[in-house]
Structure 1
Amino acid sequence: MARGARLTGRGWAMVVIGLVATAGAAIAGERDLIWVTAVPVFLPLLSLAHLTLDPPRITHRRTVEPATVAIGESARVVVEIRSASTTQAAALRFTDHAPAALGDGARFGIARGFGSWRQDVGYTIATTQRGRYQIGPLAAEATDALALARIRVAAEGPATSLRVTPHLWRLGSLTASPRLGAADATPQRIGQAGSDDVLVREHRHGDDLRRVHWKMTARQGDLMVRLEEHPWDPSSTLVVDTRTGAHFGQGPGSSLEWAVSAVTSVAAQLTEGRHRLTIVSPAGLACDPGHTLGEAALQLVLEAMTDLTSSEETWLGAAVADPQLLGASATIVAATGRLTAHDAAALAAAGTRALSRVALAPDVEAWGGEPGEHADALRLLRNHGWTVELYGPRTGVADAWRRATT
């Protein structure tokens, strides 16, 4: 689609000079000079008419490799441009449009002269924000050979999609950590059959005293608790805190993006181990791969976490208020923003039946805030058996995870 042709600054200058010269020749009575002075007037107009009647005919095909990248990585864009304009003499200037998060696209020129031609142009784009983006359209600007008039056209061809996922950190093994329930994989069994055939393990801080098995405690000499469920269920619930008011910073360096990256990385590690998982946020269910396992489950997670947006919810407990979403998860991992005592109480209640509970929470002072109620909330979580690890703006997810699970 061509936009209206217009004169350039040089074209307007020639028109004005020609008109002035023509008027001067007419006033002086030099009629023979009028034909000469009229040339600077008509030449830009002829150029304008040429571009209007025969605009450049440009088509293109764009490829992006890879079509999916993690935030911070680069992608290579190659644009195959074809021109069917046999009368285009001047260089064409192109703008391949893209969102600001991808660097606003690219600008380049091609000078091929008369005749049809084909040209491939490549450039690299850096990604700074997760999401789905459209690259395109491709716009071309053409002038006549003397640059007296110009016209802008949109090259025919589809826009191209690019998916920017959260950064995936390579984490340590989940089940190898004693803090994440590995010790519960082989609990002690007492009794031989029937109602006495139960499983026990050592008491942990935060366990309900009603689950203490007193006979086994007397026999072992250590406080032992009864496992009323199966000793280990390869299912996990991940909580990602998307509350706008609970986070610090903006853009890719914000605590929200840190939390999203952390949950996505943990989910990737779980799916690699063929765990079943559910991801919840204060806005509701974020991702539930169901019985899908392995690489297929990871792709579902990446799709969901790429599109995850911040919410206006004020209570983190909304993420864990539905017991059906929690199910009988063996592990609960929460990547949070600033917490209140109300938030911590909801997490503590949700984790009472889980074998392992990990919270990755912001170091408020490192983010430039005042701890206030946040410190009390973290203390409450620790008192209920949660492993709490703080993260700052420069903390790597892998480092925080290693400290939390060893």
Structure 2
Amino acid sequence: MAASWPGAAAGTPVSQDAEERGPLRAAFSGLTTRGRSFLAAGVASAACAYLLGQPDLLRVGALLCLLPVIAVLTTHRTRGRVTASRWLAPARVPAGQECRVYLRLHNPTRVPSGVLLLQDRVPYVLGPRPRFVLDRIEPGGQREVSYRVRSQLRGVYPLGPLQLRLADPFGMVELTRSFRTHDTMTVLPAVEPLPPVRFGGGSRGAGAGRPRALALAGEDDLIPRAYRHGDDVRRVHWRSTAHRGALMVRREESPHQARCTVLLDTRRAGYVLGGMPAPFERTVSAAASVVSHLAQQGYEITLLTDTGAQLPPPGGGGDAMELAGRLMDFLAVVDHSDEPGFERALAAPRDADPALLLAFLGSVDAGSAALLGGLRQRAAGAVASVAAGQLDPRIEQERVAALRQAGWIALSQHPGVPLASLWEQAANELSSTGGGRA
């Protein structure tokens, strides 16, 4: 493989595997049929030389015995020194997309290695184990190979450990080495692109989406700062400039950041059907699509589940895109819960009541709809996407109607219906009711 090693060039950490040399006795157990035949022939020749009194035959026997021993010692030394590295590009992929795995082997010894057989261990859902046969590696040389893996199922999958089978050039010995470490590949839920419709949401700060609270004495009581190169001259505060004899400008207003809470229903009782794609997987994928879409628009997102778990926890925060990555990693491994309802989600502590609440639900009965009504009262606007196609259509319509009576804008997410159409419909209904205004 002629490509350069991306991980080392970019400074990305790669897993370096090392293993101490095993006992020499174990190395001799790697003798092949050819190597054992040479040893047997050498011992037989030495015995015949002793019985027949032929010194030349003894030399032949010694040579036949010495060749496998030299092969064992050489291969054993190379086996203990060969190092391997693994690099994933990328390490986090959406479901259905490929990840390329790069393997590099390096021979730091002064003797060339024999033929190498590589086998990397991968979960069965990623396909068969990749195998490679490499010619000998020159002293100080290296070889690089790569393979692709893909999964339609979200989750975290271990790659490795790498197994290496090393053979000498004469085929007399084969030694197997298993490296200790492994890497992980995160398969994120499938994400569907959403149209850039305006959904609103609460805001923090005094940006354009929120009136700015002024001091009682008026705008002139705002504390200005010294002029910096590149500042807009329209922001010059002339009264402070005249008072201090130097250019002063008004401080920048704090940036506008909309806030939204995403509620994910993980109750096992809410999803009665399996198969592919299961309703639960469609619900998780829809939540991931919305989280990714809102993060790109700069929303401050809080993910809440029926168990009361929150990400980030109250008082937490950080960069919007970094937080979105943490949320996507959580959605990659989220599983069913045994919660009967949403009591713990309703009692979960939070920094402030959300202005925009988006819920992705399974089948919701009358009792759960009533609890969700209490959660909806804390938000200015609330939209619920209900996984449809699990029960009788009439029963599902009644349960969606119960959510609407509780104040939700409830929509049924049928199999095969694009999430983008539901997203636009929810935005239109939210705007018509006035709940989408920041």
TM-score by length of 1: 0.68
Return closer, same or farther for 1:60/1:53 CA change in 2, 3 Å cut-off. closer
The answer to whether the Cα contact below 8 Å between 1:340 and 1:374 also exists between their aligned partners in 2 is: no
Counterpart position of 1:391: 413
Shift of 1:7: 4.4
Shift of 1:73: 2.0
Q: Which digits, 9 at most, give the CA deviation of each residue in 1:342-380, with x for residues without a partner?
A: 222221232134333222222234xxx656865542231
Q: Which digits, 9 at most, give the CA deviation of each residue in 1:125-145, with x for residues without a partner?
A: 224333444433332101233
Residue 342 of structure 2 aligns to a residue in which SS? helix
Counterpart position of 1:91: 115
Return closer, same or farther for 1:113/1:175 CA change in 2, 3 Å cut-off. closer
Counterpart position of 1:317: 342
Return closer, same or farther for 1:52/1:328 CA change in 2, 3 Å cut-off. closer
Is 2:166 the counterpart of 1:150?
no
Return closer, same or farther for 1:70/1:53 CA change in 2, 3 Å cut-off. closer
The answer to whether the Cα contact below 8 Å between 1:320 and 1:346 also exists between their aligned partners in 2 is: no
Residue 114 of structure 2 aligns to a residue in which SS? coil
Tell me, in whole angstroms, the C-alpha distance in 1 between the residues paired with 2:394 and 2:53: 90
TM-score by length of 2: 0.63
Name the one with the larger strand percent.
1
Counterpart position of 1:208: none
Counterpart position of 2:262: 238
Shift of 1:381: 1.2
Shift of 1:327: 4.3
- Residue number among 182, 190, 199 corresponding to 1:167 in the alignment: 190
The answer to whether the Cα contact below 8 Å between 2:116 and 2:134 also exists between their aligned partners in 1 is: yes
Counterpart position of 2:247: none
Return closer, same or farther for 1:52/1:81 CA change in 2, 3 Å cut-off. closer
Tell me, in whole angstroms, the C-alpha distance in 2 between the residues paired with 1:286 and 1:83: 49
Return closer, same or farther for 1:361/1:118 CA change in 2, 3 Å cut-off. same
Q: Which amino acid aligns with 1:328?
A: D
Counterpart position of 1:69: 93
The answer to whether the Cα contact below 8 Å between 1:341 and 1:376 also exists between their aligned partners in 2 is: no
Q: Which digits, 9 at most, give the CA deviation of each residue in 1:172-223, with x for residues without a partner?
A: 345359xx99xxxx9xxxxxxxxxxxxxxxxxxxxxxxxxxxxxxxxxxxxx
Q: Which digits, 9 at most, give the CA deviation of each residue in 1:82-117, with x for residues without a partner?
A: 113454553101123344454466321210365342
Q: Which aligned pairs between 1:25-174 and structure 2 lie closer than 5 A?
A: 47-48=71-72, 51-52=75-76, 55=79, 57-88=81-112, 90-103=114-127, 106-112=130-136, 115-154=139-178, 159-174=182-197
Tell me, in whole angstroms, the C-alpha distance in 1 between the residues paired with 2:97 and 2:392: 34
Is 2:325 the counterpart of 1:302?
no
Shift of 1:242: 1.6
Tell me, in whole angstroms, the C-alpha distance in 2 between the residues paired with 1:305 and 1:312: 14
Shift of 1:396: 3.7
Return closer, same or farther for 1:250/1:16 CA change in 2, 3 Å cut-off. farther
Q: Which aligned pairs between 1:333-348 and structure 2 lie closer than 5 A?
A: 333-348=358-373
Tell me, in whole angstroms, the C-alpha distance in 1 between the residues paired with 2:69 and 2:168: 11
Tell me, in whole angstroms, the C-alpha distance in 2 between the residues paired with 1:288 and 1:354: 19
Structure 2 residues without counterparts, runs of 5 or longer: 1-18, 203-208, 210-256, 429-438
Q: Which digits, 9 at most, give the CA deviation of each residue in 1:26-72, with x for residues without a partner?
A: 9xx9998x978999898767755654465352113332223332222
Tell me, in whole angstroms, the C-alpha distance in 2 between the residues paired with 1:116 and 1:129: 41
Q: Which amino acid aligns with 2:143?
A: Q
Shift of 1:240: 0.6
Q: How many residues align?
A: 344
Residue 86 of structure 2 aligns to a residue in which SS? strand
Shift of 1:387: 2.8
Tell me, in whole angstroms, the C-alpha distance in 1 between the residues paired with 2:260 and 2:70: 72
Tell me, in whole angstroms, the C-alpha distance in 2 between the residues paired with 1:12 and 1:130: 48
The answer to whether the Cα contact below 8 Å between 1:237 and 1:333 also exists between their aligned partners in 2 is: yes
Q: Which digits, 9 at most, give the CA deviation of each residue in 1:286-342, with x for residues without a partner?
A: 313755464344234334333x42143232313532164494322222112233322
Q: Which amino acid aligns with 1:64?
A: L
The answer to whether the Cα contact below 8 Å between 2:355 and 2:380 also exists between their aligned partners in 1 is: yes
Return closer, same or farther for 1:173/1:356 CA change in 2, 3 Å cut-off. farther
Residue 55 of structure 1 aligns to a residue in which SS? helix
Counterpart position of 1:216: none
